[in-house]
């Protein structure tokens, strides 16, 4: 049995749950989320990461800029109420005539900087979108294996970063610039099939920015792992590096999910992934991560367009990955049907106001709670996660310092196995009623393995 006392008077900072967001992109020039505007708007996401790949054809001729295709994807994100986190990974043929991910310097730095300047100006000055985050490169330590055309080293990434962010800042001094969006967070001890050891790009960037007093507003990296503890370790590791270099940066895990060859991608227990999502975001909150982007929003077939700017072998790998390797990762499936992962984010989005400080006594069952003073609303998520051999757990809840005049108490359970995708069937209301003249509320129930419960108490 695990017990929790939820005291609405013991609150800390605003939970700001919308900063734990999502990403989409890297796969096709067509907008991938435009048909899900309403559903995504309901999640109250603050940022959605977008790859600016070469298929957008931003620079077809010298001095000619083409924003039409990219506008559609950016507008689709803006329509959700979020703002894009713009990841710069395009390679115009005019500046990079040869397809080779080891070629990372454009043949004309002035044209490159002008292109980046015009890109930022288009969205933040002309359209006045006020996009905050501009990221330089994607998974620069794996290059085309990450579906993007740059393979950097610790020596040449800082130069590319400097040229790019100076152009961004000229166009919009308020923009936040960062990177390096590493695959993982530590350099491999030796080269393998995926990682060609190219030095410690993250450490090199931090040292270079500190030494040369360059802006570095956020540090980003990616993790695909079945172990939630890996996310915690990565945040601790990166924050130590930032501190060592005497920098003040936001931190962002802006691609993440279960592992590609995951034991958690279990079609026989679809409740595992949504519970994993809540478990990982709780680690992120505890470790003070600035934001995250779950990858990804929707599964998509393809991507044929990659053959135009990646070498043929790597394009084949990328295509196979999207058709087979990422099958269970999205919030929506290939036909656009919402999956249990979507409803995990829907439950998280209901955590409004300031975080309630709750002492965690159990190892497997955990609780995340918030109190919104304006609405007199207490909300909580309780979940039962263990990587292997999770068991049913009995939970005792006690709410104290509540509105004694009474209110409406509700408990929901996520049903990950139902064939229905109606919200009322996925997020089942299992307890509901008006309470009055109580100094505290008690509730007892059993959480199955990978179960998620949500509590809401709205005062009168």
Which CATH superfamily includes the segment(s) 2-10+354-459? Golgi alpha-mannosidase II (2.60.40.1180)
The domain spans of the chain are 2-10+354-459, 17-349
Averaged confidence pLDDT in the chain:
92
Q: What per-residue confidence (pLDDT) applies to 112?
A: 98
Q: What is the pLDDT of residue 302?
A: 66
Q: What is the pLDDT of residue 191?
A: 65
| Fold exhibited by the domain 17-349 | TIM Barrel (3.20.20)
Burial class (CB in 10 A: 0-12, 13-18, 19+), 81: middle
Q: Do domains 2-10+354-459 and 17-349 have the same CATH topology?
A: no
pLDDT < 70 regions, the chain? 190-197, 261-268, 302-303, 317-328
- pLDDT tens, 406-441? 899 999 999 999 999 999 999 999 999 999 888 899
CA dist 56 and 30 (Å) reads 9
pLDDT at 460: 77
Bond prior to 226 in cis (omega within 30° of 0): no
pLDDT for residue 447:
97
Q: What is the pLDDT of residue 329?
A: 83
Residue 121's pLDDT is 98
pLDDT digits (tens, 9 = 90+) for 34-44: 999 999 999 99
Q: What is the torsional sign of CA 283, 286, 287, 292?
A: positive
pLDDT per residue as tens digits for the range 200-257: 999 999 999 999 999 999 999 999 999 999 999 999 999 999 999 999 999 999 999 9
């Amino acid at each position: 049995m695990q017990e929790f006392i939820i005291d609405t008077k013991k609150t800390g900072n605003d939970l700001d749950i919308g900063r734990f967001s999502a990403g989409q992109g890297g796969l096709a020039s067509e907008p991938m989320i435009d048909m899900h505007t309403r559903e995504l708007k309901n999640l109250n996401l603050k940022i959605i990461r977008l790859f600016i790949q070469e298929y957008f054809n931003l620079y077809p001729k010298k001095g000619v800029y083409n924003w039409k295709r990219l506008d559609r994807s950016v507008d689709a994100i803006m329509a959700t109420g979020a703002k894009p986190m713009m990841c710069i990974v395009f390679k115009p043929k005019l500046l990079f005539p040869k397809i080779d991910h080891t070629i990372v310097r454009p043949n004309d730095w002035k044209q490159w900087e002008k292109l980046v300047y015009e890109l930022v100006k288009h969205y933040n000055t002309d359209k006045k979108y006020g996009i905050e985050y501009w990221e330089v490169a994607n998974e620069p330590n794996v290059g085309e294996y990450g579906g993007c055309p740059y393979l950097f080293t610790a020596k040449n990434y800082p130069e590319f970063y400097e040229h790019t962010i100076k152009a961004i800042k000229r166009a919009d001094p308020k923009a936040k610039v960062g990177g390096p969006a590493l695959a993982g967070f530590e350099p491999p001890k030796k080269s393998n099939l995926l990682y060609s050891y190219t030095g410690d790009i993250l450490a090199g960037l931090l040292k270079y920015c500190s030494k040369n007093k360059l802006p570095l507003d956020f540090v980003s990296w990616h993790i695909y792992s079945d172990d939630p503890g890996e996310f915690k370790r990565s945040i601790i590791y990166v924050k130590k590096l930032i501190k060592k270099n005497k920098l003040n940066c936001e931190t962002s895990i802006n691609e993440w999910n279960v592992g590609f060859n995951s034991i958690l991608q279990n079609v026989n227990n679809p409740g595992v992934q949504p519970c994993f999502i809540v478990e990982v975001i709780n680690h992120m909150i505890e470790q003070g991560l600035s934001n995250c982007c779950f990858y990804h929003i929707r599964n998509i077939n393809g991507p044929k367009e990659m053959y135009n700017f990646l070498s043929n072998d790597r394009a084949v790998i990328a295509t196979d990955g999207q058709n087979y390797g990422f099958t269970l990762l999205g919030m929506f499936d290939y036909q656009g049907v919402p999956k249990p992962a979507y409803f995990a984010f829907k439950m998280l989005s209901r955590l409004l106001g300031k975080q309630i400080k709750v002492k965690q006594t159990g190892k497997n069952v955990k609780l995340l709670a918030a109190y919104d003073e304006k609405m007199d609303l207490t909300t909580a998520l309780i979940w039962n996660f263990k990587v292997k051999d999770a068991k049913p757990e009995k939970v005792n809840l006690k709410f104290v310092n509540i509105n004694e005049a009474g209110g409406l108490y509700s408990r929901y359970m996520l049903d990950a196995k139902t064939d229905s995708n109606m919200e009322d069937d996925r997020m089942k209301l299992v307890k509901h009623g008006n309470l009055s003249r109580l100094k505290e509320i008690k509730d007892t129930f059993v959480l199955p393995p990978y179960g998620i419960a949500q509590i809401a108490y709205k005062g009168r």
